[in-house]
Structure 1
Amino acid sequence: MATDDTRRVRQWYERELGWATACGRPDGPPVELLTGLRFDVLELPAEAGSAVLRRMPRTGPVALDGLSMRFLVAAGSAEQLPELLDWLEWSGVALDLVALGPGDRMPAPRPAGSRAAAGSGPQPVWLRPPEPGCEVEPTLPAAALGGVPGGRGGDSESAPDLVRLVGAAATECHRARLLSASRAQAFAFSYASRISAGTRPRSLTL
């Protein structure tokens, strides 16, 4: 991405949304968004994220970056994630679900409607973009249920429910892990069966 284009992207985020940005590393994205200030991020595999999008019509902004999907959530949610997973009885279960909060960064998707620079390669994109010209915080999933760790009560009408989002994300991450393990087991079984039958996969006979 050209220097002028990078500057335009940073200015769009800073002026239209009030988000803090930083120049990316030489081997990484040209512009990054600082998390833990105006928002935190839930990051999960794209396959699991797509299933969450089908289940939840209201999630707040969502970005796709290769094999990862990032859901923007209210600031402070990253700190609450371990407690929420424990409260939802997912504690101790291996999940490809991580949270980005204070001190972290996420690659900045190009603003909706803008074109990528020629030769820039694949870049993160908004699946559900933030709306410029308005406060973003009311659209972000927040822990608004009374009795839930970190619950803020009173926000449930303006923001999607963080508890439901985390529950759906954990479920779909677990399902994707089980499906991946099932595929690997089926492949191993098929390979072993063909070896015992005296045949080998074509890829090993060329």
Structure 2
Amino acid sequence: MAAPTPPATTATTVPTPRRPLDAPAGTDPVQQWYEDALGWAATAGPEGVRLRTGLRFDVLELPADAGFAMLRRCDPRSPVAVRGETMQLLVAAGSADELPGLLDWLEWGALPLDLVGIGSGGFIDAPTPPGWSGSQEAAVWVRPPEPGREMEPVLPALTTLTAVSTWSVVGGGGGAPDLVRLVDTAATHCHRARLRRAYTEPTRQPLAFS
């Protein structure tokens, strides 16, 4: 039986956004940290600082309970944040576009998983920088990025079509591209978390009237 045809991939190179040294007075310190320390595109508004996705990274969002269950299977160098009951996994730019096709290819596409991608043109709330104080409602880093290091080489990415096809033929395993393994693991834990929540939630009983 022939291996299923993997989804098509695209590769783009985007210049790293950099903040000018003579930044205007009054710039939000969180925005300044992200732009100066990491070179990430950040904007400040009434609801706080937001990070633009699709340039240096994309984001996979999933329920926090599913995310914490799968963290041990993630590369410990890849940044991970949590905001409320949502976990955000940073992946290579362009990965959000690959997510629907990968889920279909991995035969998860027909199930509701609460797993979504945020890519080009999107934003996420900026987590409080490591070591800074913040409000309880703010996003926080579970695994923060490291200033002064290039992040792209450690972000899960869909590497080559040949590698994906090989992963299908051998039935998965250590040779799978990082993004394929990450999406498959995330989908598995999202599905388990949904089943667990459905099992533990109390059953609503209709009111009885005499």
Q: TM-score, normalised by structure 2?
A: 0.75
SS in 2 for 1:93: coil
Aligned partner of 1:153 in structure 2 is none
Percent identical: 56
Aligned partner of 2:3 in structure 1 is none
Rounded Cα–Cα distance in structure 1 between residues aligned with 2:26 and 2:73: 36
Counting only pairs closer than 5 Å after superposition, residues 186-197 of structure 1 correspond to structure 2 as 187-188=202-203
Of stretches 163-172 and 139-148 in structure 1, the one that deviates more from structure 2 is 139-148
Counting only pairs closer than 5 Å after superposition, residues 23-42 of structure 1 correspond to structure 2 as 23-24=44-45, 26=46, 28=47, 30-42=48-60
Aligned partner of 1:128 in structure 2 is 143
Given that residues 59 and 165 in structure 1 are in contact (C-alpha distance below 8 angstroms), is that contact kept between their aligned partners in structure 2?
no
Of stretches 33-42 and 9-18 in structure 1, the one that deviates more from structure 2 is 9-18
Q: 1:177 to 1:43 in 2, by over 3 A?
A: same
Which of 175, 178, 191 is 2:195 aligned to? 178
Deviations 1:140-199 (A, max 9, x none): 1111252538xxxxxxxxxx8111111111001111111111123xx228x57xx7xxxx
Deviations 1:15-67 (A, max 9, x none): 1111000113x3x3x10000011100000000000011133353610001000
Aligned partner of 2:30 in structure 1 is 9
Rounded Cα–Cα distance in structure 2 between residues aligned with 1:56 and 1:121: 25
- The runs of at least 4 consecutive aligned structure 1 residues that moved more than 2 Å come to 54-59, 144-149
Rounded Cα–Cα distance in structure 2 between residues aligned with 1:59 and 1:169: 17
| 1:74 paired to 2:92 | yes
| 1:98 paired to 2:119 | no
Q: Any gaps of 5 or more consecutive residues in structure 1?
A: 150-159, 196-206
SS in 2 for 1:95: coil
SS in 2 for 1:148: helix
Q: 1:141 to 1:91 in 2, by over 3 A?
A: same
Q: Any gaps of 5 or more consecutive residues in structure 2?
A: 1-24, 166-176
Aligned partner of 1:43 in structure 2 is 61
Q: 1:5 to 1:128 in 2, by over 3 A?
A: farther
Larger Rg computed on CA atoms: 1
Q: Per residue, is there more helix in 1 or in 2?
A: 1
Q: CA deviation at 1:138?
A: 1.1
Supply the AA of the counterpart residue of 1:93.
Answer: L
Rounded Cα–Cα distance in structure 1 between residues aligned with 2:195 and 2:123: 29
Q: CA deviation at 1:139?
A: 1.7
Q: 1:5 to 1:87 in 2, by over 3 A?
A: farther
Q: TM-score, normalised by structure 1?
A: 0.76
Given that residues 96 and 117 in structure 2 are in contact (C-alpha distance below 8 angstroms), is that contact kept between their aligned partners in structure 1?
yes
Aligned partner of 2:42 in structure 1 is 21
| 1:164 paired to 2:185 | no
Aligned partner of 1:156 in structure 2 is none
